[in-house]
């Protein structure tokens, strides 16, 4: 287990996924009303598809589902939520393209540990290229093969350990080879009860029409409309400005920056905090790896030094301060107080690097 992955490992909930609230609401509503389609395809950017699949299954299994501000989410705290967010739920199975590795007998079963580490490290948002780099293969086209299909049949025939759902995620099903696709088809035709198969891909081109027709497709919102545009145009300057004032400990300017954050609407504040959280994680990973992390603040000293202030000693307290601010905002707490409290906690944590 990569030490960094274990440190930044965080419960995956709908609220952590920026710009896909409508989709999350729809998926949760289907679960709430007991209309879970046994095979679904989350089609859209891979940086969103897998986080959504995990948040969806976490909600499915959560024993204390919540509804806040009209949005449903898992609790993030119950034993089931924790097991899924740590990818250790015994009924959660993962299938993904894997390189042949010079041996015909290799399947995704042999890469489970690496793949789970990859998901944790990338917060489930990694690309196929990043997976190849992670597993250290120079193979450009890894596949899901017959042996992987046999693995699917095997894990889906098991009785659920926890007595609930059998859950299978197939990441990049468009890499299924013909034999594996045909094998999978049988499983899709005769699903066992309490089975959920989620496919996650950024395209459905090349997927057998017979598979497509047996799978309910959920189209994710384009990332550009949800995340990137808002992150860069609205949140990035605000957050970076706020972090800069924390860094400089200029309290008067910090208060002015807090006012700007408090002036956003609740939804924007939630997205802003999710963005801040991902920025802090980027800083931590970059500084841990000794890589530069360009925050683009226009302040060279800040850009160079701030990432180094996020270390193993304070990442967890920073993350929990951000989480608790989000919790407060979701419950309609006074935004100014919530952001001021967050600022104090962050500045205290930054001193403990
Ligand atoms: Zn829960």
pLDDT digit string (tens) for the chain, length 353 residues: 344 444 445 547 888 787 788 899 999 999 999 999 999 999 998 988 999 999 999 999 999 999 987 889 999 889 999 999 999 999 999 999 998 766 667 889 999 999 999 998 888 888 898 899 898 877 667 899 999 999 999 999 989 999 899 999 999 999 999 999 999 998 898 888 899 999 999 999 989 999 999 999 999 987 743 344 444 456 677 888 888 888 887 888 888 889 988 988 887 888 888 888 878 887 888 788 777 776 767 777 888 888 888 888 998 899 899 989 988 888 888 999 999 999 999 989 988 87
Domain final residue pick, 179, 203, 221:
221
Domain final residue pick, 205, 221, 237:
221
What was the pLDDT predicted at 167? 96
Specify whether 205 is located in the same domain as 231.
Answer: no
Residues with CB under 5 A from ligand 1 (ion): 62, 64, 74-75, 78, 81
How far away, in angstroms, is 75 Cα from ligand 1 center?
4
Q: Of 120, 287, 44, 1, which is closest to residue 131 (Cα–Cα)? A: 120
Specify whether 23 is located in the same domain as 127.
Answer: yes
How far away, in angstroms, is 219 Cα from ligand 1 center?
25
Specify whether 115 is located in the same domain as 93.
Answer: yes
Secondary structure string (H, E, C) spanning the chain: CCHHHHHHCCCCCHHHCCCCHHHHHHHHHHHHCCCCCCEEEEECCHHHHHHHHHHHHHHHHCCCCEEECCEEECCCCCHHHHHHHCCCCCCEEEECCECCCCCCCCCHHHHHHHHHHHHHHCCCCCCHHHHHHHHCCCCCCCEECHHHHHHHHHHHHCCCCCCCCEEEEEECHHHECHHHHHHHHHHHHCCCCCEEEEEEECCCCCCCHHHHCCCEEEECCCHHHHHHHHHHHHHHHHHHHHHHHHHHCCHHHHHHHHHHHHCCCHHHHHHHHHHHHHHHHHHHHHHHHCCCCCCCCCCHHHHHHCHHHCCCCCHHHHHHHHHHHHHHHHCCCCHHHHHHHHHHHHHHHHHCC
**What does each C-alpha distance from 163 to 92, 167, 197, 284 come to in angstroms?**
12, 12, 17, 38
Asked if 330 contacts 68 with a C-beta cutoff of 8 angstroms, the reply is yes
Could you report the per-residue pLDDT of 236-254, keeping only the tens digit for each?
Answer: 778 888 888 888 878 888 8
Specify whether 98 is located in the same domain as 229.
Answer: no
How far away, in angstroms, is 79 Cα from ligand 1 center?
7
Q: Measured in Å, how far apart are the chain's first and last C-alpha atoms?
A: 23
pTM value is: 0.68
Rounded Cα–Cα distance for residues 161 and 154 (Å): 14
What was the pLDDT predicted at 171? 97
How far away, in angstroms, is 60 Cα from ligand 1 center?
9
How far away, in angstroms, is 77 Cα from ligand 1 center?
5
Could you report the per-residue pLDDT of 199-244, keeping only the tens digit for each?
Answer: 999 999 989 999 999 999 999 987 743 344 444 456 677 888 888 8
How far away, in angstroms, is 41 Cα from ligand 1 center?
24
How far away, in angstroms, is 344 Cα from ligand 1 center?
29
Strand 166-171 and strand 92-95: the pairing is parallel
Specify whether 235 is located in the same domain as 292.
Answer: yes
Specify whether 63 is located in the same domain as 162.
Answer: yes
How far away, in angstroms, is 106 Cα from ligand 1 center?
35
How far away, in angstroms, is 134 Cα from ligand 1 center?
30
How far away, in angstroms, is 218 Cα from ligand 1 center?
23
Specify whether 21 is located in the same domain as 138.
Answer: yes
How far away, in angstroms, is 87 Cα from ligand 1 center?
14
Specify whether 41 is located in the same domain as 130.
Answer: yes
How far away, in angstroms, is 31 Cα from ligand 1 center?
14
How far away, in angstroms, is 2 Cα from ligand 1 center?
25
Cα dihedral: 133, 58, 341, 231 (round 10): 50
Q: Please count the structural domains in the chain.
A: 2
Specify whether 249 is located in the same domain as 197.
Answer: no
**What does each C-alpha distance from 82 to 87, 113, 161 come to in angstroms?**
8, 18, 16
How far away, in angstroms, is 162 Cα from ligand 1 center?
14
Q: What CATH number is given to the structural domain containing 259?
A: 1.20.120
Q: How many CB atoms lie within 10 A of CB 14?
A: 22
How far away, in angstroms, is 80 Cα from ligand 1 center?
6
Domain final residue pick, 157, 190, 221:
221
Q: What CATH number is given to the structural domain containing 72?
A: 3.40.50.300
Specify whether 310 is located in the same domain as 177.
Answer: no
How far away, in angstroms, is 54 Cα from ligand 1 center?
13
Specify whether 54 is located in the same domain as 177.
Answer: yes
How far away, in angstroms, is 24 Cα from ligand 1 center?
16
How far away, in angstroms, is 65 Cα from ligand 1 center?
6
How far away, in angstroms, is 233 Cα from ligand 1 center?
34
Both structure tokens of 276: 């801040």
How far away, in angstroms, is 111 Cα from ligand 1 center?
28
- Structural domain of residue 331, as residue ranges? 224-351
Specify whether 115 is located in the same domain as 85.
Answer: yes
How far away, in angstroms, is 71 Cα from ligand 1 center?
15
């Amino acid at each position: 287990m990569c030490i960094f992955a274990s440190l930044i490992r965080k419960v995956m909930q709908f609220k952590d996924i920026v710009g896909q609230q409508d989709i999350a609401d729809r998926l949760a509503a289907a679960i709430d009303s007991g209309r879970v389609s046994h095979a679904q395809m989350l089609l859209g950017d891979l940086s969103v598809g897998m986080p959504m699949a995990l948040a969806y299954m976490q909600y499915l299994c959560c024993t204390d589902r919540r509804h806040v501000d009209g949005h449903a989410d898992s609790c993030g705290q119950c034993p089931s939520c924790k097991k899924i967010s740590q990818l250790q739920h015994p009924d959660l199975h993962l299938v993904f393209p894997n390189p042949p590795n010079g041996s015909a007998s290799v399947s995704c079963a042999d890469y489970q540990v690496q793949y789970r580490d990859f998901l944790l490290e990338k917060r489930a948002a990694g690309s196929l290229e990043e997976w190849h780099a992670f597993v250290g293969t120079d193979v450009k086209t890894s596949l899901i093969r017959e042996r992987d299909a046999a693995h699917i049949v095997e894990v889906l025939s098991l009785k659920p350990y926890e007595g609930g759902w059998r859950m299978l995620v197939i990441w990049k099903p468009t890499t299924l080879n013909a034999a594996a696709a045909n094998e999978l088809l049988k499983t899709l035709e005769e699903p066992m009860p309490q089975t959920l198969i989620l496919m996650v891909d950024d395209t459905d081109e090349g997927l057998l029409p017979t598979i497509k027709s047996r799978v309910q497709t959920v189209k994710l919102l384009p990332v550009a409309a949800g995340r990137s545009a808002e992150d860069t145009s609205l949140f990035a300057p605000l957050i970076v400005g706020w972090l800069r004032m924390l860094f400089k400990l200029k309290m008067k300017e910090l208060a002015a920056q807090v006012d700007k954050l408090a002036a956003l609407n609740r939804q924007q504040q939630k997205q802003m905090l999710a963005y801040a959280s991902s920025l802090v994680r980027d800083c931590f990973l970059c500084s841990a790896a000794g890589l530069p992390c360009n925050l683009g603040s226009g302040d060279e000293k800040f850009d160079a030094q701030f990432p180094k202030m996020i270390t193993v000693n304070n990442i967890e307290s920073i993350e929990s301060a951000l989480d608790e601010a989000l919790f407060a905002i979701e419950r309609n707490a006074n935004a100014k107080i919530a952001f001021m409290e967050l600022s104090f906690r962050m500045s205290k944590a930054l001193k403990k690097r």
